Chain A
Amino acid sequence: DGGITQSPKYLFRKEGQNVTLSCEQNLNHDAMYWYRQDPGQGLRLIYYSQIVNDFQKGDIAEGYSVSREKKESFPLTVTSAQKNPTAFYLCASSMSTGPDIQYFGAGTRLSVL
């Protein structure tokens, strides 16, 4: 069953703590993305990756970091520098970073304790 798996579904962060959100895909897609969704708003791009070992900042990259060591995996770390991390985080993938259809995971809801 091909798709995108995000974990955990819910995550809580303490002050000063870094947390990592997992995103795995088995669609053999080259491109992967991380979006942030705040209530009543659209999706905003945090980071995207066109290929293994390469990634680019999106519109709101400050306070976040990513890695792309494997084609299947694109984890997102929310660092302590991100002062307002409470949001719904969505991972997506597509064949390439052209105007290809992006397929999404079920999301991770991050809250601050």
Chain B
Amino acid sequence: AQKVTQAQTEISVVEKEDVTLDCVYETRDTTYYLFWYKQPPSGELVFLIRRNSFDEQNEISGRYSWNFQKSTSSFNFTITASQVVDSAVYFCALSEGVMGGQNFVFGPGTRLSVLP
């Protein structure tokens, strides 16, 4: 069965620090997709990135970067020079194969607090 683990329940950093959110996944499929979502205090989940299992290239988008390592089944998310607006709950998610739907599994989330 597929599973997503986010071992860090809560993280607090001071503004301008770098922070890495960990995500470890389990799947038996060779084709799968990984996602990161941000849930600010308003409640709506905001899509950040999708990565498929055949593309291990790291990605950078502004202050955000993602490190995908199939060898360790990890898809970690780093925020550089954190800001107060980055305070939110961050979810990692996994979708196996091409079915999606019921095969879309979210991790428990990591609550990030960025202090001024």
Contact surface of A with B, Cβ cutoff 8 Å: 31, 33, 40-43, 45, 48, 50, 56, 58-59, 88, 90, 92, 94, 96-107, 109
- The reply to whether A31 and B100 form a contact with Cβ atoms under 8 Å apart is yes
Interface string of B7-35 (1 = CB under 8 A from A): 00100000000000000000000001101
Chain A hits for B104, CB < 8 A: 33, 45, 99, 102
A99/B33 in contact, CB under 8 A: yes
How many residue pairs, one in A and one in B, have C-beta atoms under 8 Å apart?
68
B contact residues, range:
20 to 34
B109-A105 in contact (CB<8A): no
Complex CA gap A31/B52 in Å reads 20
Could you list which residues of chain B lie within 8 angstroms of chain A, going by C-beta atoms? 4, 9, 32-33, 35, 37, 42-47, 50, 52, 91, 95, 97-102, 104, 106-109
Q: Is A42's CB under 8 angstroms from B107's CB?
A: yes
Contact in complex: B100, A107 (CB < 8 Å): no
Cα separation A94 to B52 with both chains bound (whole Å) = 17
CA distance A92 to B102 in the complex (A): 13
How far does the Cβ of A11 sit from chain B's closest Cβ, in whole Å?
Answer: 14
| 30 pairs, A vs B, C-beta closer than 8 Å | A31-B101, A33-B101, A33-B104, A40-B9, A40-B108, A42-B106, A42-B107, A42-B108, A42-B109, A43-B45, A43-B106, A50-B101, A56-B101, A59-B102, A88-B43, A98-B98, A98-B99, A98-B100, A99-B32, A101-B35, A101-B50, A102-B45, A103-B47, A104-B37, A104-B44, A104-B45, A104-B46, A106-B42, A106-B44, A107-B43
Interface centre among A45, A99, A100, A101 (most CB of B within 10 A): A99
**Most chain B beta-carbon contacts within 10 A, residue among A88, A97, A103:** A97
Other than A31-B100, A98-B99, give 8 A-B pairs with Cβ distance below 8 A. A31-B101, A40-B9, A41-B109, A50-B101, A90-B45, A102-B47, A106-B42, A106-B43
